[in-house]
Amino acid sequence: MLKPNKILISRTDSIGDVILTLPMAGILKERFPNVSIVFLGKNYTKSIIETSEHIDEFLSIDDLNKLNPKEQIQFIRNKNISHCIHVFPKKEIAQLMKKSGVQLRIGTTNRAYHWFTCNKLIKLSRKNSDLHEAQLNCKLLSAVGINEEFSLVDLAAAYGFTKHLALPQKHKELLSKDKKNIIIHAKSQGNAVEWGLENFSKLISKIDKEKFQVFISGTQAEGQLLQPLIKNNPDAVDLTGKLSLPEFISFINEADILIAASTGPLHICAALGKKAIGLFLDKRPIHPGRWAPIGKDTHVVLMNNDSERELQQILNLAQAQ
């Protein structure tokens, strides 16, 4: 078996998916301490990827796509990558890695183009599996001799999500020193089934303001959609559009609790070891068995059209020590 020297992990999709791929890097570093880990991702996930202490280099697929085909091949050749793991399969990336002469190219058997572009194929079906997404990702590591079955506790310890920046003072001053700071992230940019602004407004109204400082987070675009929630809850601090992604990571790290659907901020919170409360439908393929946050203090509330029960469950989890 070819000894890994520099391994490229290719995952060019969204924040939550990227975070659930990071434990692979931690496991690889534990098994091969001298290996260099390169992560190929989108620019908007760069700060997520660079927060992991196990990632040595970030490569931007956005920047790579600006090069012509010959320049792309030369760029990858210059990186001296020995292994490529196609966690999120993309035909163009698989073809590029082969043309660039990457020695061991790892993909799944259920992508026809992998039979022509990869030289190590792993039989892996995500659709009908009972494993978590992070566990499924690690199945690809069998190509380098790592065949262990990893528990969610094992994977939570492998994030290495420690290289976050210091929170700017102007944002740090918003956090309460004598109350628990709780972040409500009500939108998901269409990536998850949402609980609804009316339900979140009821939740905020029932949170004990003597014990909790509430924050409403979201992108600038989401801030427009969240105006009814913001206006109906003047005691909550509006964070929408006010923090960059690196600042938001640091803000979550300084806070105590985050409540969200199955979306990036929920997984950021879990990776930081904070209390993460996720709202899920118990429906394949979006069920919590596949996509629940994994971390030291993570919780799942199932949405079953019983908002009062769900509201009380969230309150109980938030208030629990």
Residue 298 and residue 189 share a domain: yes
Name the domain boundary from 133, 156, 179: 156
Q: Answer for the pair 39, 55: CB distance below 8 angstroms, yes or no.
A: yes
Q: How far is residue 259's CA from residue 181's CA, in Å, rounded to a whole number?
A: 11
Name the domain boundary from 156, 188, 203: 156
Residue 136 and residue 92 share a domain: yes
Residue 247 and residue 152 share a domain: no
State CA 149 to chain mean position distance: 21
In a domain, residue 163? The reply is no
Residue 78 belongs to domain with CATH number: 3.40.50.2000
Give the pLDDT of residue 3.
Answer: 79
Vertex 51 angle, CA 47 and 52, to 5°? 130
State CA 221 to chain mean position distance: 21
* Residues found in the chain: 321
- pLDDT tens, residue by residue, 236-295: 999 999 999 999 999 999 999 999 999 999 999 999 999 999 999 998 888 999 999 999
Residue 148 and residue 195 share a domain: no
3-state SS of the chain: helix, strand, coil percent to 5? 40, 20, 40
CA dihedral in degrees (108, 110, 112, 115; nearest 10)? 40
Q: Name 10's bridge partners.
A: 40, 86
Residue 204 and residue 117 share a domain: no
Domain span holding position 269: 169-319
Residue whose C-alpha is closest to residue 249's, from 159, 180, 138: 159
Give the pLDDT of residue 128.
Answer: 79
Residue 118 and residue 42 share a domain: yes
Q: How far is CA 163 from CA 30, 197, 281, 288, in A?
A: 18, 33, 32, 27
In a domain, residue 95? The reply is yes
Give the pLDDT of residue 163.
Answer: 96
What are the tokens at 93? 């990336």
Q: Is residue 27 helix, strand or coil?
A: helix
Q: How far is residue 129's CA from residue 136's CA, in Å, rounded to a whole number?
A: 8
Residue 187 and residue 143 share a domain: no
Residue 144 and residue 187 share a domain: no
Residues of the chain with pLDDT under 70: 1
Measured between its terminal Cα atoms, the distance across the chain in Å is 49
Give the pLDDT of residue 190.
Answer: 80
b or e along 157-187 (b: 16 or more beta carbons within 10 Å of the residue's beta carbon)? bbbbbeebeebeeebeebbbeeebbbbbbbb
Residue 178 and residue 283 share a domain: yes
In a domain, residue 31? The reply is yes
Residue 280 and residue 183 share a domain: yes
Q: Answer for the pair 213, 175: CB distance below 8 angstroms, yes or no.
A: yes
In a domain, residue 233? The reply is yes
In a domain, residue 41? The reply is yes
Give the pLDDT of residue 129.
Answer: 86
Name the domain boundary from 102, 132, 156: 156
pTM for the structure as a whole: 0.96
Residue 241 and residue 113 share a domain: no
Give the pLDDT of residue 285.
Answer: 87
Give the pLDDT of residue 1.
Answer: 65
Q: What is the tally of structural domains in the chain?
A: 2
* Residue 95 CB neighbour total at 10 angstroms: 14
In a domain, residue 208? The reply is yes
In a domain, residue 164? The reply is no
Residue 139 and residue 14 share a domain: yes
